[in-house]
Amino acid sequence: MSQTKTGHCMCSCVSFVARNVPETFGACHCDMCKRWSGNVFNGVPVPSEDLQLSGEGHIKRIQTSDWAERAICAECGSPLWYRITAEGPTTGTTNLALGLFDDTSDMTLGYEFYVDRKTSANDLPKDRKQFTEAETLALFAPEDASHDQGDKQ
Ligand SMILES: [Zn+2]
Ligand SMILES: [Zn+2]
């Protein structure tokens, strides 16, 4: 069951209303997500057309690889989302940062990416889908990028 949820960045310059928010979210332990978010990035996949943003002028988009962008609040630095920009099965999905949501009480961690790269701080129980770096790249990365950019996402 999906629902409508709201959220905002640390300084509230950027806020959103998201429809069709799933109950489960993912964790990514890749090196880029670790550095970007401080350790692990929890992303809530929302169809981009169901995302209504306020504060567009405060959003800084960063193309962090050939196939994806990340966005932050330019005022407070809060990570906002990770989004695949290259054509593929997940194009059009915005992975909103879990921490932005006002209410996450009914949401659960459903899957993890790059489990072979995670820090000991994230040694979570293994009762969910887990994908290694290679398995994650096989799912999302363009064929020609999966060999020489293993640390990128
Ligand atoms: Zn902010
Ligand atoms: Zn990642």
The CB density around residue 18, as the number of other CB atoms within 10 Å, is: 23
The pLDDT of residue 6 is 98
Cα-Cα-Cα-Cα torsion 120, 121, 123, 124, nearest 10 degrees, comes to 180
* CA dihedral over 46, 47, 52, 54, signed as positive or negative: positive
Ligand 2 centroid from CA 82, angstroms: 8
pLDDT along the chain (153 residues), means of 10: 92 98 96 96 96 98 93 98 89 94 96 93 81 89 56 52
Name the residue ranges covered by the structural domains of the chain. Answer: 3-141
pLDDT at site 67? 87
State the pLDDT at residue 31: 95
Q: Read off the tokens for 102.
A: 């006002």
Q: How far apart, in whole angstroms, are the C-alpha atoms of residue 76 and residue 104? A: 22
Q: How far is the CA of 58 from the centre of ligand 1 (A)?
A: 7
Give residue 144's pLDDT: 61
Which residues, 6 or more positions from 8, have their beta carbon under 8 angstroms from its beta carbon?
A: 14, 15, 16, 100, 102
Expressed in angstroms and rounded, the spacing between residue 153 Cα and the centre of ligand 2 is 5
Ligand nearest to the backbone CA of 14: 1
Q: What is the CATH number of domain 3-141?
A: 3.90.1590.10
Which ligand number lies closest to the CA of residue 8? 1
Nearest to 24 by CA among 2, 53, 40: 2
DSSP code string of 31-53: HHHHHHHSS-EEEEEEEGGGEEE
Compute, in angstroms, the gap from residue 116 CA to the centroid of ligand 1: 32
In angstroms, rounded to a whole number, what is the distance separating the alpha carbons of residues 126 and 130?
Answer: 8
Which pLDDT value is given to residue 153?
Answer: 54
